[in-house]
Structures are given as structure tokens and as C-alpha cells.
Structure 1
């Protein structure tokens, strides 16, 4: 277990932003993770858990406590059951499942970060979410002081949300178990229209696993959503805002605002979200509110490839980024009456 003091945290995030931690602990085994958590809890020291750093916005003043970087490794594949240590690189894990001929997460290729973070955010893209394949999450329960196993139902998954995100001070994810599908080398049914078009198939069709993964990687790269140190469009947290989910009344008011602003024939994106709710597109809202690709003049700007990504063009501070985010939120609210919610976790700062 490595321990550093006054340690830079910016290099541990995909934004490359944020001040130092008073103390940085890197744990390479579950036992080390638990020991570091217990030490912080017993001493009353604030604790920040870091995986791949791809969904994290750290304030410029840094973190006055213990930052715990989870660097555990371990991949176990038994038939169609996959178990990943929390510190495993998610993109590598997806590649392994494709090589093994197992379907269920192939459309989650290219998403940066660690395996342990996937259940927290209920990571999803291109018609797949990890909640559809996760069977169990093994975590350290800080309140009970013991390791627990939570079933899929107990994880309380919803859109970009989970029990872990709802109670961030309680659980530290150690391992994640998935149940995948052996479908003769074919993918799960392709659900996302954009992916289906790129693959030349109809939604609901299956395609070779490698084709599904390669197509998603190409689509993501075209939006700056695959990490590349030389490409500042990827110095981001991917999608900075979640897609709004509106009640019937809220959606009706939103549609009226859209038609008032864009014309009586204008129709906003709308997708069923269950229980009388409708999901719309944050990227569409941002673009139609006037924040187009590349928007901004400072060191933090909207990606030149995708309006949903806020980026560090080099030399930005966290405050630069937050100023841009606040401008976007205010502009969308003024234009359409919808308040965007940030997807990344913020530390020491907020919108």
C-alpha cells in the first residue's frame, strides 16, 4: 500500500483538474482497501474514493483528507459468469467478454473508468446498462464495518443512479459480478437506433460481437468519448449532464417552450421513461439553447465533437469548468424551463 502526502489528484482524473490531497493511499488488494477505509473512519478523516477518475470533478483547493485510489486487479470468468475486481479497467474487461464470445456489455466499450464505478453510476450507453447484467456487488459497508454482498435488486438501480450513489458515504465497492449471455458469438439485440444504423441492421437484430464493439468504439471516438491524451476533446468526463426525465406536466410545458422558441412544428426528442415520464436529450437542449460544439473562448469549452461534453483545452482550472457548466445550465433553463443535472461527482465544489 503506497502512501503519499500533499499528492496531486489532477493526473488521476480524465479532466486533469483539481488540487492535491492531504494524503493519497493506493490500495492494490481488497484487504488494503478495507484497511485504508477503516483507518480513515476510525480517525474521523474525510475519505475520497478514486477509481478511474473519469466521472470526477475535484475543486482547485483539492481534498483535505485521505484520497483512496483503488488499484485492485482480478478477472475471473466461469462459464457466463464474470467477476471483476473494482480496480480493473472497464474497457479492457469489455474487450475480454467479446473475445470470450459473451454478450451483454459489448455496447459499453470505450467507456473510461474502473469496473467498481460501473454499478455506482449504473453506467450505460448505446442501449445497454450494467444493471441488466450485474447479479451481485461485493462491497465494504462502512456503517456495519463488514463486507457485504448486495443483489441486483438491493442495488436499487435506476437511470444513472443506484443505492451506492444515493448513499455515497456508506459503501466502497470491492468486486462486481455479471451474468452474460453465450449467443454463438453474437451480440445482445441491438437496441439503440444510431448503433443499428451504423451496423446496417434493424433495432432488435443481433450482430457479431466484435462488430458491435468496433462500431460503438468508432461512434464514441467520433464524439470524443474515447480517451486520447493528444485530443483535448477527451479531456472531459464524457457526458457532463444527464438526460432530463420529465413528468407529463413538465414535458407538456417543455414542448410548449420548444414550439414558442423553434416554431410550431418543432418536436423535442422524447423517449418513454416509465410511469408517465418522458426522457429528452440533454445534448439537444444544449445545442438548441445556443451552446454549439466548440462553444467558449477560455481554457474550458464545449467539445468540438459533442455538445454534451465539457472539456479542458489545457491550462483550465476547475472554476473555469464550473463557470462554463453554470452558463450552460442557466441558458438551457432560460430557453426551455428545464434544469440540467451534472453527471460527474463533484468534490469540494458544486454547480
Structure 2
């Protein structure tokens, strides 16, 4: 059907190198060893080899959600390069069951589902990274997240040294979280994702549009559907306007995307904020989800904070000039430059509102 269904065979590649080139943020020191695995068997072999040798192990897919410290990583870095997908079943009643390799580029997969009239992923267009990373953090945007379409995943369980299957309910998805993330320690997961199976509806109409900005731009009411092609096109435009679509010519896109999660706080805490502070349902009784971007802006951190050469990062790292949630590498930033901006923003928001922001990317060999 497509070349994605027939990935090129691969052989693990070993050697030392810098992690900056493997991340969208473009920072990170050297790794003791980098291994690239292009098939499920190669992934398992590489993990077992590192574990047998007692080496620290870091898993990288697209590198879009990592901040690696300037000292690098003292063990094996496994880059997941498997790709492709296959249709397990497809019928009018049940929709399509799509099994995707962990290293498959996420946005290319979303594009393929829209072109094939498989509905459900279109609002997640433009998100960088690999498919296998999406269930770890329950990746989401514009009112949609992968927990709504993932049926099950297959993983390599490093403790039991066996392949294991998780159903959707067993993954215990919540806001930017899952059992996969909970069992990961300093970037080293217990469960290494091999394949992800999605259950998608058939049709050219999107899933119900749940995000007000997206609905408004599409000209529909929240809860209504639109053509999936239009949703994808609109999401890409909205993300692009915020510097959230990778572009080698735009330094605003050299980031991890949103650096901070939207905080979930007790309703009483949310009640102390100004009336115009955005508030969203959190899914947990007695709590409210707030907008991290609003808090950052109202705490006095405008777009481009940090660009001044006299700033905390010497102008090498800064908030995006398009969106206050992204911390960007302006061309010569170190991990410490990025973290200096993050600390200034986090501390400023806490001082202003008493709310502590938490980092969304995984921090390897560094901390806030």
C-alpha cells in the first residue's frame, strides 16, 4: 500500500557520538556508545546486550522530548529506527486496526491515516518524534491524545526479559502520563515499546473537535466534526504559527515543544487567580487544569525572554518568539543555558502565583 509498510532492513550501528545531533533541541554531550536498531529483533538484542553488560541504557526515538546534560550519557544510547505499519483488520463496523512499528515517524503516520480515510489522529498532526514514544507520555494536542485511539502495545519487559502486551486500560493513561512513564527511571525504561496498535474509525470526517481554538478556526462548534484533511491542514498551520513544527530555517522550532505541562491544581488554588485565567477540566474531581502559557506570560516572561545577551543564558537560549511554552536553542546553546531559562521561568511563576511548573521533557544527566 505504501513504502511505510515495507521498511528497509537495518543493522545496528555502533560508535560514540554527541547526543545534540539526535535531539530536536540540539543540546547534549557525548554518549559512550550509540546503537541504531531498525527491526524488532535488533531492538531486543541491543537492549539485552546493554543489560547483560550492566550498562546504563537510554532509549531515543525522534529525540523531541529530551534535554540531555552537557556531560552526555555514560552508557548505551539506543536509537529506535524501526518503521512501517500494517493493517490487521478493516471493516465498516469495527474500523481499522493499525499496527505500527515503534520507530515510525509520527507525523508521516498521521498523514497516511488521513490520506487513507482512517479517522482519529488528525488533530495530532505536526507533533515531532516517533510513534513508540507517544503512549509513554500520552502525547496530545488540540483536545486529542493517543489514549483515545490506542488499543494495545507490545513491549520488551527488561525485568522479565520477555515480550509483554498492554491493553489500553492496563496502560493507566492520564494527563501526559502512563504506566510506561511511571516505570521509567532517569530516561531508562523498564518497558521498551516495540509496536503500537491503533483502532481508528473509517471515514473522511474527523473525530469530534474538542479544542475551542481549533473549532473556531475550522468554523465548527466544539464537539462537531470536520473533514479530517481540513483538521490536519489547520492544526499544521496553528502549530506552525507557534513554532511547533520542525523547520531547519526557524530557530524557534529548535525545542522540545512545550517545556512545561499545564499544572493541575486544587479548585481553591485556581480560584485565587484572576477571572481571565484559562481553566480546563482536569478529569480529577476537585482539581482544575490551568494554562502554563498564561501563567508564564502573566508572570512577566514575554515571548523571546532570554534573547538579550545579558540574560540568564547569554542570549543562547530563550523562550520562543512565537510561544512562551517553548524554550529554544538559538544556535549555540548548552543544556545549562536551556535550564537557566527554565529555572527563571519556573521560579518567576511560583513567586507570582504560588504554582510550581513541572518540566514536560525528560531530563537526562541534568535537573531543574
Normalised by the length of structure 2, the TM-score is 0.91
For the residues of structure 2 that align with 1:108 and 1:213, how far apart are their CA atoms?
Answer: 8
Where in structure 1 do 4 or more consecutive aligned residues deviate above 2 Å?
1-6, 248-252
Superposition pairs for residues 8-157 of structure 1, below 5 Å? 8-77=18-87, 78-79=89-90, 80-157=96-173
Structure 2 residue 282 is matched with structure 1 residue 282: no
Conservation of the 8 A alpha-carbon contact between 2:209 and 2:224:
yes
Superposition pairs for residues 256-295 of structure 1, below 5 Å? 258-259=273-274, 266-274=275-283, 275-295=285-305
For the residues of structure 2 that align with 1:225 and 1:36, how far apart are their CA atoms?
Answer: 32
SS at match of 1:3: coil
Conservation of the 8 A alpha-carbon contact between 1:3 and 1:23:
no
One of 298, 309, 327 as aligned partner of 2:326: 309
**Matched residue pairs, number?**
340
Structure 1 stretches lacking a partner, 5+ long: 260-265
Structure 2 residue 209 is matched with structure 1 residue 200: no
One of 356, 360, 366 as aligned partner of 1:339: 356
The alignment yields a C-alpha RMSD, in angstroms, of 1.0
For the residues of structure 2 that align with 1:172 and 1:128, how far apart are their CA atoms?
Answer: 24
Conservation of the 8 A alpha-carbon contact between 1:223 and 1:305:
yes
Structure 2 stretches lacking a partner, 5+ long: 1-10, 91-95, 309-314
For the residues of structure 2 that align with 1:251 and 1:223, how far apart are their CA atoms?
Answer: 26
Conservation of the 8 A alpha-carbon contact between 2:13 and 2:37:
no
For the residues of structure 2 that align with 1:119 and 1:165, how far apart are their CA atoms?
Answer: 9
Greater fraction of residues in helix: 1
Normalised by the length of structure 1, the TM-score is 0.95
Shift of 1:84: 0.7
SS at match of 2:136: helix
For the residues of structure 1 that align with 2:231 and 2:293, how far apart are their CA atoms?
Answer: 23
Shift of 1:2: 3.2
